[in-house]
Amino acid sequence: MIKVDVVIVGCGPAGSWCGKKLAEKGIDVLILDRNQEIGTPVRCGEGLSENVEKRLKFKLPDFCIAQKINGAYIYAPNGKYIEIKEGFGYVLERKMFDKWLACEASLAGAKVISKSFVYDVLREGNKISGVKANIIGNDTEIKAEIIVGADGVESLIAKKAGLNTTCNPSLVDSGFEYEMVNIKLRDSHKIEIFMGNEIAPRGYVWIFPKGEKRANVGVGIKGYSEKEARYYLDKFINSREELKNGSILEVKGGCIPVGGFLKDMVKENVLVIGDAAHQVNPIHGGGMGEAMTAGEIAAKVIVKALDKNDLKILKEYNKIWWKERGNTLKKIERLREIVEKLNDEQLNKLAEVLEGEDIYEITHGNYVKLLKVLVKLGIKMIV
């Protein structure tokens, strides 16, 4: 039997950052991760905005950065593109990034153990009092005052606690990606986004550079599409001279929640963060920054609850997250709902009138501006 103040299930960005912030306040915290190696397998495009650095006040080490990004090209179905010169950031080496975060948590005082599969919760009466895990081959019980579920979109902790995190299938996208080398990039410091219902139904194809001739090339589509995501990605790559002869170094894939934010992420002494709480940007599917932000908010509330010996304080996590991030993400979800109703002809019209500054503003939650543009173009939407 192991006893700690807090056990965190999952050592991705959400779990690591939450654990680091808790440990810095003297909380006895254990972080368990099911994978044999922290950071693997990779299931994302590896893009991170520098706004996340500023918001959470950390500095990325160089070894986590594959390429610095200074803008983007957004392509309409007809090939017309808009250049965005805002939105600086990075394409990461995600395996290194996740390990760095886990190291930061450990150096702050948290205990991190990989290859630790949590398969059930402990109960004392009707209250969850910890978790049951197989830690590197040994079945172990861990008692904890508070349990944090940072265990992904199909969170076991949420289910066991009775938190309803079921996501409507229409709010889950399917992603598939190759890390490719020996390809030709338009600009190795700009990401490329390709829109179109034939290219990626309710989604987009992306090229995230990781060097002069190396990039993550992937697609995200609606999860209920008749054809799988790989079909669309392969079709796109084979249609591009600059890509089709490239080599594939790594294959990645997974489900991406793109909405359905939870009003209540707390059940007694259990709370969920990151993908487990659907805390992902609904327009581009990025979740690392949102996960870390939620982890930091959760940590502050947990420290307060433990200091005052009052677990009811954990409910403040809901209120603070919605104020700081939820309301903005809800606006962005509304934007996605509008964009996904546009046909290719309408997307082409938008590309004729929008500029980079407009796209940056719209994708950061100003969907009213998009509606005004649509009205000017004579595009009627049911919203």
Confidence band of 351 (pLDDT split at 50, 70, 90):
confident
Q: Give the predicted TM-score (pTM) of the model.
A: 0.93
Is the per-residue pLDDT at 375 higher than 80? no
pLDDT interval class at 233 (50, 70, 90): very high
Q: Which pLDDT score is estimated for 108?
A: 98
pLDDT, tens digit, 9 for 90 and up, residues 1-14 = 899 999 999 999 99
In tens, the pLDDT along 101-134 reads: 999 999 999 999 999 999 999 999 889 999 999 9
The pLDDT of residue 314: 98
SS (H, E, C) the chain: CEEEEEEEECCCHHHHHHHHHHHHCCCCEEEECCCCCCCCCCCCCCEEEHHHHHHHCCCCCHHHEEEEECCEEEECCCCCEEEECCCCEEEECHHHHHHHHHHHHHHHCCEEECCEEEEEEEEECCEEEEEEEEECCEEEEEEEEEEEECCCCCCHHHHHHCCCCCCCHHHEEEEEEEEEECCCCCCCCCEEEECCCCCCCCCEEEEEECCCCEEEEEEEEECCCCCCHHHHHHHHHHCCCCCCCCEEEEEEEEEEECCCCCCCCEECCEEECHHHHCCCCCCCCCCHHHHHHHHHHHHHHHHHHHHCCCHHHHHHHHHHHHHHHHHHHHHHHHHHHHHCCCCHHHHHHHHHHCCHHHHHHHHCCCHHHHHHHHHHCCCCCCC
Domains of the chain by start residue, with CATH: 2-46+93-167+260-331 (3.50.50.60), 68-89+169-257 (3.30.9.10), 335-376 (no CATH)
